Chains A and B, each alone.
Chain A
Amino acid sequence: MAGKTLYDKIWDAHVVHTDAASGESLLYIDLHLIHEVTTPQAFDGLKTAGRKVRRTDLTLAVADHNTPTENQAAGLAGVKDPEARNQLETLTRNVAEYGIEYFPMGDIRNGIVHVVGPEQGRTQPGMTIVCGDSHTSTHGAFGALAHGIGTSEVEHVLATQTLRARKMQNMAVEVTGKLRDDVTAKDLALHIIAQTGTAGGTGYVIEYRGEAIEALSMEARMTLCNLAIEGGARAGLIAPDEKTLEYMKGRPASPKAGAWEVAESYWKTLYSDDDAGWDTVIRIDGPSIEPTITWGTSPEQAIPLSGKTPVPEEIVDPVKRAAAERALDYMGLEAGVPIAGTPVQRVFIGSCTNSRIEDLRAAAEIAKGNHVAEGVRAMVVPGSGLVRAQAEAEGLDIVLMEAGFEWREPGCSMCLGMNPDILSPGERCASTSNRNFEGRQGRGGRTHLMSPALAARAAINGVIG
């Protein structure tokens, strides 16, 4: 019998029941993260049906999508947008009514849900983790099966602590060799998506493996797994190792001495067997990857920083050609020109993809002793209150502010522009976030995805490059 993949092992350990006729399983959920945008209708549904939250202790709420990134000390009364305020108040009411642990805006533990889970030690290897947010794949960096769900599923998990799910296929993405020193997990992720396409992972759980993956820090692994969804995969996974254990030690919700040893012996079984059966294997040559950014309106429309925008007439696939024409038009770019040198007006460093301390250090290193170019507005939004405090303890806030960057309070912010941080039509933004879709950061806004170092450089130079 063939061995098991890491995904197979986690799946098998969480199946409560499988319906023979439909092939659908009830999968037990170890951690349910919730936020203000995708839960109000779920709580409404529970109330209407008179149902309870089955495991409040396995549920954690944060406010992040709508929260303003300035003057959070004013509390919800200070949230100017009445609809956003209503949503935040609704979450506050719901968690109080059901007795769910909540890190509200202003709490130092508050921040982007996918930054908070790992930071608090709530995210652990071998777990199943869901959240009404597609970037839940982030937690896969710890060897946890983690993915986004819709609001109906949020309601299902609240009521049953299980999810109706079907087993996905196994894909291995193996990155061989060492990455160049100037290549980050963000470059790697964009490079992979450019190869596989935004739908390449559909129907799969991806396990990232190989020398280049093992060399990544935990925060870099989170960046990589965060973008698994942009490649269409249900989830991304990386097997836990010594780095994982090192990261987890001493975090508030990590197992304490005694329990830790028991947990560790289990975590060490969490890897894909040598004879595991993979449905698809993709090999990527690590050393050949260059710093990579997006030129278009889909994460797969990514090229090396040294590259040129595509020439639609040269694209054989008619669907991709039409998409490239539309994207060039929307982005206001010429065909076949170098992407470096393109002027930007805005810079956003933040989001669940790139707002952790290592990201802020990378940005500050570029910013130190330089100044944001004239006509550019650059914003740094730490992923959580604790990341912000750490950065301030290291003096990164001073470096960034002296260089002309705005230093904000935590939240999802301009990644999706639900709060007041948005682009104006035609504005071009160098962004460390995860989606460059049309209108994502504001109607008519033009987003180029890139690493924190490249975004900081764009801020200083006023142009991509």
Chain B
Amino acid sequence: MKAFQTLTGTAAPLMEKGKLMSNVDTDMIIPKQFLKTTTRTGLSKGLFHELKTKADGSENPDFVLNKPQYAKASILIAGENFGCGSSREHAPWALLDQGITCVIAPSFADIFHNNCYKNGILPVRLPVDVCAQLAAQAGGANHVFTIDLETQTVTTPDGVVHSFEVDAGRKSNLMAGLDEIGASLTSASEIDAFESRRRHMTPWLERAG
């Protein structure tokens, strides 16, 4: 996994009728027809597919990531409960493939939130009103924000600094770009010991053969 430390880049606000779009679900982030891949790459073509294209397949010029100033956005600002729905890791893979490595929202759905941390994407939780302010700024002429994971801050284009909370363990893993499986395998002797206890405690769970 690629480490995340600091990021300075364009922030794109995902809006709906003048408000940050809430309950952006995983079908919206990457619809089913793009889940048939066997790789983690190339998924940006499916990112927000039904928002960014019209029914006839042509590009929707009103969609934020289709606007020239946001084409290279690396930060996405959205509303509450971002990433609700399925466990598909294709959602963070698609964001990553688009170059987005930070999502700012008031809240995230559980599995999506987990999946971000497994892929070097930082999900930043900030209060609804702060997210709305950030979105208003991102919609203006200068939309370059800086995210610093070490200091846990978001700095707006006009220099206002907002602090965010992040779990200490997740923070250190993300900053180091930790190979989690490799790290967990250092506990192999504890897993062995657990399995030997398990054979005695719940023997019916041992499957013969």
Contact = CB atoms under 8 A, between A and B. Distances in A.
Contacts of A132: 87, 89
Nearest to B202: A266
Contact of B22 (A41, A153, A323): A323
A418 B36 contact: yes
Interface string B84-98: 111111001000000
A438 B27 contact: yes
Contacts of A66: 36
A149 B184 CA distance: 17
A51 B38 CA distance: 19
B50 A438 contact: yes
Interface string B17-60: 11110110101100111011111100000000010000100000
Interface string B166-209: 01111011000000111011011011001100100111111101
Nearest to A234: B110
Nearest to B182: A49
Interface string A153-195: 1011001111010100000000000000000000000000000
Contacts of B109: 199, 202, 232
B79 interface: yes
B113 to A, nearest CB: 9
A30 B195 CA distance: 10
Which of A21, A37, A54 is the most central at the interface, judged by chain B CB atoms within 10 Å of its CB? A37
B118 interface: yes
Contacts of A90: 38
A21 B168 contact: yes
Interface string A103-133: 0000000000000000000001011000011
Which of A30, A132, A151 is the most central at the interface, judged by chain B CB atoms within 10 Å of its CB? A151
Contact of B80 (A38, A81, A319, A440): A319
A229 B31 CA distance: 19
A23 interface: yes
Contacts of B203: 259, 262
B114 A150 contact: yes
A84 interface: yes
A17 to B, nearest CB: 5
Interface size class of A (residues with CB under 8 A): 35 or more
A13 to B, nearest CB: 8
A150 B194 contact: no
B115 interface: yes
Contact of A28 (B38, B88, B191): B191
Contacts of B19: 318-319, 322
A164 B84 contact: no
B107 interface: yes
A258 to B, nearest CB: 9
Contacts of A13: 201
A10 B190 CA distance: 18
Nearest to B198: A28
Contact of B87 (A22, A26, A38, A418): A38
Given A199-B107, A418-B32, A439-B27, A133 B87 contact: yes
Which of B18, B191, B201 is the most central at the interface, judged by chain A CB atoms within 10 Å of its CB? B191
Nearest to B39: A41
Interface of A: 13, 16-17, 19, 21-24, 26, 28, 30, 37-38, 40-41, 44-45, 49, 51, 54, 57-58, 65-66, 81, 83-84, 86-87, 90, 124, 126-127, 132-134, 147-153, 155-156, 159-162, 164, 166, 198-199, 202-203, 232-234, 253, 255, 259-260, 262-263, 266, 298, 318-319, 322-323, 325-326, 416-418, 425, 435, 437-440, 443-444
5 contacts: A22-B169, A22-B170, A198-B23, A199-B81, A439-B27
Given A21-B169, A26-B190, A322-B17, 20 more contacts: A26-B187, A40-B38, A65-B35, A87-B36, A134-B86, A149-B87, A150-B118, A152-B115, A152-B180, A160-B184, A162-B191, A203-B110, A260-B204, A416-B27, A418-B32, A435-B86, A437-B27, A438-B50, A439-B27, A439-B28
